[in-house]
Amino acid sequence: MKLWGGRFTKETNQLVHNFNESLSFDQKFYRQDIRGSIAHVKMLAKQGILTEQDRDDIIRGLESILEDLDNGKLVISSDSGYEDIHSFVEGTLTERIGEAGKRLHTGRSRNDQVALDMKLYTRDEIDAIEALVKELLEELLAVMEKNTDTFMPGFTHLQKAQPITLAHHMGAYFEMFSRDRSRLKDIRRRMNYCPLGSGALAGTTYPLDREYTAELLGFDGPTLNSMDSVADRDYLIELLSALSIISMHLSRFCEEIIIWNTNEYRFVEIDDSYSTGSSIMPQKKNPDIAELIRGKSGRVYGALVSMLTTMKGIPLAYNKDMQEDKELTFDAIDTVKGCLALFTGMISSMSFRKEVM
C-alpha cells in the first residue's frame, strides 16, 4: 500500500510537470527573455531598488547565458526540471553569480514577463514576415514589368471571359500582398506598448520607471492598464488573422498555378526543383510545393480559431489557459514564413508559355 502510494504520487507529479511545463516550447524566446531582463535590472538600479554592483553582476551573468545558449555550450534540456524559460534563466543565473541572481525578479511577475517576451518575439517575427512579403512583392513586380505585352485569357467562373495581360493578373496579387504588408505594419504599431511593470495583475509597490524600460526595449510607451497588460492576447489574434489572410492569398495563387500547370492549360512550366515526378507515370510533373502551400492554409486558420476559442471564456486577469498561445502561434509563424519563402522561389523560377497563353 505504502509502496504503491509512494510510486503513484511520484508518477502523478511527473505527469503534472509534463502537462504544466512550457520550457519545451517557450525556450524559443530565450533571447527575448534575456533582453527583457537586462532592461528590467537597468531600470531597477536606476531607481535605486538594486545596487549597481548587483546590476552589473546580473547583466554579466545574463550575457554569458545568452552567449552560451547561442553557441550551444549551454543546452536547455527538458529533464532539467525547470518549468519554463523564465525559471531556467533565473536558476542558471543564480548558479553562476549566486544570491544576486534571485534579485533579478524584484518587482516583476512571470505574468508581465511572459507578456513582454511574447510581444518581443512576435514583434521580431512580424518584421521578418513583412520582409518576406516585401521580397514576394518585388518578385511579382519583376514578372509584371516583363509581361505588360503578354496576353492571356481573363477568367470568370473559370471560363474564358476577356483578354488581359499577365501583368494585369499578377497585379491583382500584388494588391493583395500589399494589403497584407500594411496589415502587418498596423498590428506592429498597435501592439507596440510595454507590459513590464504590471506585475501579476495589479502592479507593484516598488517605484518602477515603466517609461524607461519601455524605451530601452523599443516600445512606444508602457501599456496603460495592468490587468489588460497581462491578459491581452489581441495582438496574437490579429497576427493569426493577418497570417490566415496571407495563407488564403497564397492558396488562391497556388490553385491558379496548379491549374495553369495542367496538361489542359500548359500556361506555366514549374521548375524541376519545385516539382516532383511519379515513379509509375513518367508523363507527370506534380506541383507538390504549390499543393503543400495551398494545404498549409488549413493549419494556419486552425491556429486562429484555436486562439479565439481559448481566449473567449477567460476571466481577468492571467489564467494558465493562455500558455496555449505559444505553440500554435509559433507554428503559424513558422509555417507562413516557410510558405512565403518557397512561394517566392517557385514564382521566380517558373516560366510562362506565352504562346500557349
Instruction: Examine residue 27 and tell whether it contacts ligand ARG (CB under 6 A).
Output: no
Supply the minimum distance, in Å, between the C-beta of residue 39 and ligand ARG. 18
Contact between 22 and ligand ARG by CB under 6 A: the answer reads yes
- Select 108 or 326, whichever has its Cβ closest to ligand ARG: 326
What is the 3-class SS of the chain, one letter each residue? Answer: CHHHHHHHHHHHHHHHHHHHCCHHHHHHHHHHHHHHHHHHHHHHHHCCCCCHHHHHHHHHHHHHHHHHHHCCCCCCCHHHCCCCHHHHHHHHHHHHHHHHHHHHHCCCCHHHHHHHHHHHHHHHHHHHHHHHHHHHHHHHHHHHHHCCCCEEEEEECCEEEEEEEHHHHHHHHHHHHHHHHHHHHHHHHHHCCECCCCCCCCCCCCCCCHHHHHHHCCCCCECCCHHHHHHCCHHHHHHHHHHHHHHHHHHHHHHHHHHHCCCCCCCEECCHHHCEECCCCCCCEECHHHHHHHHHHHHHHHHHHHHHHHHCCCCCCCCHHHHHHHHHHHHHHHHHHHHHHHHHHHHHHCEECCCCC
Q: Which stretch binds ligand ARG (CB under 6 A): 170-178, 276-284, 300-308, 322-330?
A: 322-330
User: Which residue, 248 or 314, is less far from ligand ARG as judged by CB?
Assistant: 314
Residues of span 64-103 touching ligand ARG by CB under 6 A: 84
Is there binding between residue 226 and ligand ARG (CB under 6 A)?
A: no
Q: Which stretch binds ligand ARG (CB under 6 A): 108-116, 160-168, 177-185, 272-280?
A: 108-116
- To which residue does cell 530565450 refer? 30
Cα separation, 179 vs 105, whole angstroms = 41
Cell of 245: 489572410
State yes or no: residue 110 binds ligand ARG (CB under 6 A): yes
Question: Does residue 278 have an active-site annotation?
Answer: yes
Q: Could you tell me how far CA 242 lies from the centroid of its own chain?
A: 12
Nearer to ligand ARG, 200 or 258 (CB): 200
* Shorter beta-carbon distance to ligand ARG: residue 109 or 261: 109
* Minimum CB distance to ligand ARG, residue 199 (Å): 11
**Closer to ligand ARG at the Cβ: 47 or 323?**
323
Q: How far is the CB of 230 from ligand ARG (least distance, A)?
A: 9
Question: Given the complex with ligand ARG, which of 257 and 311 has the nearer CB atom?
Answer: 311
Binding mask 164-203 for ligand ARG (x = CB under 6 A): ----------------------------------------
Of 66-74, 121-129, 177-185, 320-328: span binding ligand ARG (CB under 6 A)? 320-328
114 binds ligand ARG (CB under 6 A): yes
Q: Which one of 157, 273, 279, 351 is the catalytic residue?
A: 157
For residue 122, the minimal CB distance to ligand ARG (Å) is 13
Grid coordinates belonging to 242:
493577418
Which residues are CB-contacts of 171 (< 8 A; sequence separation ≥ 6)?
140, 144
Q: Is 231 in the site for ligand ARG (CB under 6 A)?
A: no
Residue 229 is a binding residue for ligand ARG (CB under 6 A) = no
Q: Given candidates 47, 106, 323, 348, which one binds ligand ARG under the rule CB under 6 A?
A: 323
Binding site for ligand ARG (CB under 6 A): 22, 26, 84, 110-111, 114, 318, 320, 322-323, 326
Active site residues: 157, 278
